[in-house]
Structure 1
Amino acid sequence: MARTVLVAYGSTYGSTAELARTVGDVLREAGLDTEVRPAADVPDLAPYEAVVLGGALYAGRWQRDARRFSRRHRWELARRPLWLLSSGPLDASATRRDLSAPAAVRRLAHRLGARAHVAFGGRLDERAKGRAARMIVRSGEGGDFRDFAAVTAWAESVARELTPQDVHGG
């Protein structure tokens, strides 16, 4: 049986989707059969031996589709190797290497037994809704705070952990 990894994501404006695609590309390059899909489009985890779940952060909470995915599949996620990633700091704090997860995401990681959680800077799109987002865009402080080299390095570490003995059915 081929080892298949799901990279699922909750993304409203596409920034987190781009991070997920980067993770998927790295896992494929490492020889893992990998599917990258929006969290809302994954009805069943049966085809997957491991999961990377990502969510954009909005006011300290994961994007709705990522939260719903984690609730809908909580039992299956707890039985698979699982990694979580967040995309969200939209300011200079995104350049810190030790970005901490909001409490809700830390609790989720603990509840699901995630092997790791990492937070990366996000991108504030001019289409973003909400008063705070509009204020940031108008102030000229918005922008793209994603570090694709860091995302790639993290995904490479996930790929190294996905050895045959770690993957169910492998």
Structure 2
Amino acid sequence: MERSQPRVLVAYGTKYGATGEIADHIGDTLRQAGCTVDVTAAGEVGPDLSAYDALVIGGALYAGRWHRDARRLARRARARSHGRPVWLFSSGPLDDSAARRDIDPVPGVRRLVDRLDAREHVTFGGRLDENARGRMARMIVNSGRGGDFRDFDQITAWAEGIARELLALSDTARPG
């Protein structure tokens, strides 16, 4: 009997696109491992999540808060997750701290982890470059604190762990 392919939604909230690129990378990794994946901006996810066996939701961090669209989707997912496994990720530190050590989720995301009974939360480094708009973003970049601090090897390893867990769950769910 053939293994069933878990269907996964990878959704993200981003302002400048870096978190969306992380979500795309997670989606590619899950696909390569044998999952069926939709990668979608959190604000574009429809109300019906029943087509998915698992959810991965990520949000960019701004001033200690998750992107609004990611927060809204996570709240909706709480009401509609029905025991589906959920993983959460944040992106944002503009240094290499996320690659060197585990970073606890910010308080609002910690509450979402608990309320969704998420399997795991991880924080990845962020990216802020000279194309960023907005006064604060320009100030950060102009002060020399911008850059790309995403560690794609770390992101790949995390997504591969999700895939292993989902594929093991799909094996145990098979009749036989």
Shared fold by TM > 0.5? yes
Structure 2 letter corresponding to 1:120 = F
Distance of aligned partners of 1:88 and 1:78 in 2 relative to their CA distance in 1, 3 Å threshold: farther
Q: Is the 8 A contact 1:10 1:38 kept in 2?
A: yes
Matches within 5 A, 1:1-170: 2-43=5-46, 44-77=48-81, 79-126=83-130, 127-131=132-136, 133-163=137-167, 165=169
CA distance in 2, matches of 1:95, 1:153: 12
1:163 positional shift: 2.8
Higher deviation after alignment, 84-93 or 31-40: 84-93
State the Cα deviation string for residues 90-149 of structure 1 (Å, max 9, x = none). Answer: 124333221221111111101110000000000013324243x32211112210000000
The CA distance in 1 between the partners of 2:41 and 2:17, in whole Å, is 10
Aligned length: 169
Shift of 1:13: 1.0
How many Å apart are 1:167 and its aligned residue?
8.7
In structure 2, relative to structure 1, the CA distance for the partners of 1:78 and 1:105 (3 Å cut) is farther
> 1:168 & 1:46 partners in 2: Cα distance?
20
Give SS of 1:162's match: helix
Q: For the residues of structure 1 that align with 2:147 and 2:63, how far apart are their CA atoms?
A: 17
CA shift digits 1:76-100 (9 cap, x unpaired): 2352100000001012433322122
Q: Please, which moves more after superposition, 94-103 or 48-57?
A: 94-103
Gaps of 5+ in 1: none
Q: Deviations over 1:27-73 (max 9, x none)?
A: 00011111111111111201101010000000111101101111222
Q: Any conservation in 2 of the 1:78–1:112 contact (CA below 8 Å)?
A: no
Q: Kindly tell me: are residues 118 and 35 of structure 1, through their superposed partners in 2, closer, same or farther at Cα, counting changes over 3 Å?
A: same
Q: Could you tell me how far 1:166 is from its partner in structure 2? A: 5.5
> Higher Cα Rg: structure 1 or 2?
2
Instruction: Tell me the TM-score normalised to structure 2 length.
Output: 0.88
